Structure 1
Amino acid sequence: MAEEVNLETIMGLIINGGNAKSDAMEAIQAAKIGDFTLADSKLVEADKSLVEAHHSQTGLLTQEAQGNHIQVTLLMVHSQDHLMNAITFLDLAKEIVDMYKKVANETK
């Protein structure tokens, strides 16, 4: 049973991390064409996905802190990699969207 819960949690990290990264990329693409409403909306969606991923991660950390040691698998490492890449990508996407906004305002 614990393995099923852990697999569900791991897949939550992968799926939500992937969704966050995809939304962040879509935000950049929207900003690139000047659709800042869509860009901002995509950044909000990416943040929501990361919150969900963090909930999954917190579940694993809580288990470990309670003494329920979790076997570290390649799939778990992969899920953490997805999450960290999504966080980094979203941070950069926010900066890129802001740059596009500044350029758009300066050329008006």
Structure 2
Amino acid sequence: MEDDELSRVAMEVILNAGDGRQCIDQALEHLASFDFDGAEACLNDAEAKLLLAHRAQTDTIQRQAAGEEISYSLLFTHAQDTLMTISAELHMAKKMMPLVRALATK
């Protein structure tokens, strides 16, 4: 894999993960006003964006595992870190849904 292709993949991961983070932020805003349908829709959008980022990352990892030469890239490492962090944010936002629902019924 050429360096410029790896940079393109890294940016794809970063941009999709970043879009996912914006969806998570919107979901939390909906959640704060007890708009559960809006929150759920935004979390679904976030999940779709993170799936795109994850697929791009996984394809690159699988290519290297299959023997393709892929040089180290700080940008790709940053992309993986970004994806991991935002995936954790999505996980926590999903875990908050039932808690806020329970608070809303009290």
Instruction: Confirm or deny a common fold (TM above 0.5).
Output: yes
Residue 18 of structure 1: how far off its partner (Å) = 0.9
1:9–1:57: 8 Å Cα contact kept in structure 2? yes
| Partner of residue 100, structure 2 | 100
Within the alignment, does 1:82 sit opposite 2:93 as a pair? Answer: no
Residue 37 of structure 1: how far off its partner (Å) = 1.0
Which deviates more, 79-88 or 90-99?
Answer: 90-99
User: Following superposition of structure 1 onto structure 2, how do residues 10-29 of structure 1 map, counting pairs within 5 Å?
Assistant: 10-29=10-29
Residue 75 of structure 1: how far off its partner (Å) = 0.7
2:16–2:52: 8 Å Cα contact kept in structure 1? yes
Structure 1 unaligned regions, length at least 5: none
Matched-pair identity in %: 28
| Partner of residue 49, structure 1 | 49
User: Following superposition of structure 1 onto structure 2, how do residues 33-44 of structure 1 map, counting pairs within 5 Å?
Assistant: 33-44=33-44
Residue 38 of structure 1: how far off its partner (Å) = 0.7
Cα deviations by residue, 1:39-98 (Å, 9 ceiling, x for unpaired): 000000011011101110111112101211211221111101110001100001111222
Which deviates more, 65-74 or 52-61?
Answer: 65-74
Which deviates more, 62-71 or 46-55?
Answer: 62-71
Structure 2 unaligned regions, length at least 5: none
Where do 4+ consecutive residues of structure 1 move more than 6 Å? none
| Partner of residue 7, structure 2 | 7
Residue 8 of structure 1: how far off its partner (Å) = 1.6
Amino acid at match of 1:77: T
- Matches of 1:58 and 1:35, distance apart in 2: 34
1:28–1:96: 8 Å Cα contact kept in structure 2? no
Residue 4 of structure 1: how far off its partner (Å) = 2.8
1:28–1:97: 8 Å Cα contact kept in structure 2? no
**Total equivalences in the alignment:** 106
Q: CA RMSD in A?
A: 1.4
- Matches of 2:99 and 2:90, distance apart in 1: 14
**Structure-2-length-normalised TM-score:** 0.91
